[in-house]
Structure 1
Amino acid sequence: MNIHDFAKKKLDGTKISCVTCYDYSSALIVAESDIDCVLVGDSLAMTIYGYDSTLPADIPMMSAHIAAVARGFKAKSSQKFIIGDMPFTTYRRGLDNAVDAAGALLKAGAHAVKLEGADGNLEIVKHFVEGGIPVMGHIGLTPQFVNTMGGFKVQGRNDEKAQKILEDALRLEAAGCFSLVIEGVPAALGEKISKELKIPTIGIGAGKGCDGQVLVWQDFLGLNNGHKARFVREFAHQFDETKTVLNRVHEAILNAEYPNNAESY
């Protein structure tokens, strides 16, 4: 898949499937699936490293995980499209620094980068695209703005804020984004934006009217144990399943049932 396939899928009315992917082993599985593309998201700061926001992610962290995913796809001769998140503040330190940061992610194996928000980013998007760096935008609930938003809250609930999000989407499209993530907005707004834009939208908590959807690996596999966002669907319950397997491992070791003769040299 490449950026032109995103536009083609929207034109054909075919939904785009995307999941987060953070490591080599997971990439080996995705490579053999029907999933269209993956996002190596800065959400890994939370899902992999246990931070309470995405803000601690940095370029070395993102590059290492992107490279691991790219190696997994290469091992399976997979052409899955990889989007890498630009970490907090890395694209707000001047154009030269922003290009260096984005370049590091592409050199690690990403095919495109994603950045959050429109205000202050339009020149950056244009500069990236003109320099050969495909850009996916991100509007609505933008996790890197958690401190200015006062938490992870649904955005665009009133007409004025909804209009601002729509305008941001149109500005990012005009600046050159090939696609746009819409996160944490009312379903009606997600659908309206998707109809207004020529580029495809990828929703997460933005309703089924978007041109595609992205889900976080730990969420759709049911690897979390506790509160989950309303938009999350657990397609499996691997937290409990894995815990059961761990207990079986413990019991087998405790009872000297593992390893047996066939498993020994």
Structure 2
Amino acid sequence: MLDKKMNLHSFKAKKGKEKITSITAYDALMAKIFDGEVDMILVGDSLKMSFGGESETLGASMEEMIYHTKAVCKGVKYSFVIADMPFGSYATKDMALTNALRFYKETATDAIKLEVGLEKLDIVRSLCDEGIAVMAHIGLKPQFMRFDGGFKVKGKEETQAKELLQTALAMQEAGAFGILIEGVKSDVAAQITESLEIPTIGIGAGVDCDGQILVWSDVFGFFDEFKPKFVRRYLEGKNLLKDAIRAYASDVKNKAFPHSQESY
């Protein structure tokens, strides 16, 4: 449990000393529950899939991401907050800076996250030069799923593994404070983590990353249409909630709710 606000310095200081814990959140209610229990809360564009019923993240807009980031920040006092830059919001340097500044001016987010390859290196550098904290997301990039033909594990081939390491090192040099590694072979993610001075956060990338992140509706069993290999369920939330709503509905129909103590 955190007893003071996690900032950029304290986040980076965990490298090699203590594993970093992370989870997603999209509203103030859940953010308040998670706040201080984990080091980092990500306002992910995964909300389009988890809560929007979409099959991909590409439909998230700047307005949606800012709305949800504002809500999460209102519920957070201790955890480090990162917001996803949505698909199409950082296609050029000017566009990236304009939209990143919106996050900083309109929300209290501590940092932003971009799904990047070497082609985005100058964009990451330009944002960092303006004092914007950037986490670089490499490996399996959900915003590229149409281009990749689906959600494909990365680092299986030696050439691809070398490119991932090169990308991570280049992003560190450009000023990124951390790297999120998604869907990458464990040994490759371990090599990247060992080679960097900045923390890595893994999702489907093995135990050797500096930290881990999962989508809250996956890890707590509220989304059960499918379960990715890298997800461990710590709660069967959907079943518990269904039992509770059925009990409530039954009490209403049977006039067991409200009773006199619950009435004015």
Q: Which amino acid aligns with 1:102?
A: A
Distance in 2 (alpha carbons) for counterparts of 1:136 and 1:95: 16
Matched, 1:62 2:62: no
Match of 2:32 in 1: 28
SS across alignment from 2:88: coil
Separation in 1, partners of 2:21, 2:73: 18
Structure 1 gap segments, 5+ residues each: none
Distance 1:40 1:116 in 2: 14
Q: Using the alignment, how far apart are the partners of 2:257 and 2:109 within structure 1?
A: 42
In structure 2, the residue matched to 1:238 is 237
How far apart, in 1, do the equivalents of 2:122 and 2:18 lie? 31
Report what 2:95 is aligned to. Answer: 97
Are the counterparts in 2 of residues 6 and 179 from structure 1 also a CA contact under 8 Å? no
2:226 maps to 1:227: yes
Q: Equivalent residue of 1:34, what SS?
A: coil
Q: In angstroms, what is the RMSD of aligned CA positions?
A: 1.1
Q: Which letter does structure 2 place at the counterpart of 1:196?
A: S
User: Is the contact made by 2:50 and 2:223 (CA closer than 8 Å) also made in structure 1?
Assistant: no
2:127 is matched with 128
Q: TM-score, normalised by structure 2?
A: 0.95
Identify the match of residue 16 of structure 1 among 16, 20, 43. 20
Q: After TM superposition, give the deviation of residue 118 of structure 1 in Å.
A: 2.1
> What is aligned with 2:104?
106
The one-letter amino acid of 1:39's match is L
Matched, 1:2 2:1: no
- In the aligned structure 1, how far is the partner of 2:156 from the partner of 2:127? 32
Amino acid at match of 1:95: K
Matches within 5 A, 1:192-207: 192-207=191-206
Q: Hey, what's the Cα distance between the residues in 1 that align with 2:241 and 2:133? A: 38
Report the Cα offset of residue 7 of structure 1: 2.2
SS, match of residue 9 in structure 1: coil
* 1:72 lines up with 2:75 in the alignment: yes
- Aligned partner of residue 15 in structure 2, secondary structure: helix
Count of equivalent residues = 258
Structure 1 distance, partners of 2:224, 2:136, is 30
How far is the alpha carbon of 1:153 from its aligned partner? Answer: 1.6
Does 99-108 or 202-211 show the bigger shift? 99-108
State whether structure 2 residue 255 is matched by structure 1 residue 252: no
Question: Aligned partners of 1:170, 1:2: CA distance in 2, in Å?
Answer: 23
Displaced runs of 4 or more, over 4 A? none
Q: Residue 3 of structure 2 aligns with which residue?
A: none
SS state of the match for residue 240, structure 2?
Answer: helix
User: 2: distance between equivalents of 1:7 and 1:196?
Assistant: 15
Q: CA deviation at 1:123?
A: 1.0
Rounded to whole Å, the distance in 2 between the matches of 1:226 and 1:70 is 29
Which whole-Å CA distance do the structure 2 matches of 1:132 and 1:69 have between them?
Answer: 22
8 Å contact 1:182–1:203 — kept in the other structure?
yes
After superposition, what is the alpha-carbon deviation per residue over 1:108-129, rounded to whole angstroms, capped at 9, x for unaligned? 1211110012232111111111
Cα distance in 1 between the residues matched to 2:13 and 2:51: 34
Partner residue, 1:176? 175
The answer to whether residue 50 in structure 2 is matched with residue 51 in structure 1 is no
What is the alpha-carbon distance in structure 2 between the residues aligned to residue 259 and residue 151 of structure 1?
Answer: 50
CA contact (8 A) 1:19 1:37 kept: yes
* Matched residue type, 1:48: F
Take 2:78 and 2:208, find their aligned partners in 1: how far apart are those partners? 27
How many angstroms apart in 1 are the aligned matches of 2:96 and 2:116? 15
Distance 1:248 1:116 in 2: 44
Give aligned-pair identity as a percent.
Answer: 41
Contact 1:70 1:109 (C-alpha < 8 Å) held by counterparts: yes
Question: 1:92-138 deviations in whole A, cap 9, x for unaligned?
Answer: 1x322211211112231211110012232111111111111000001
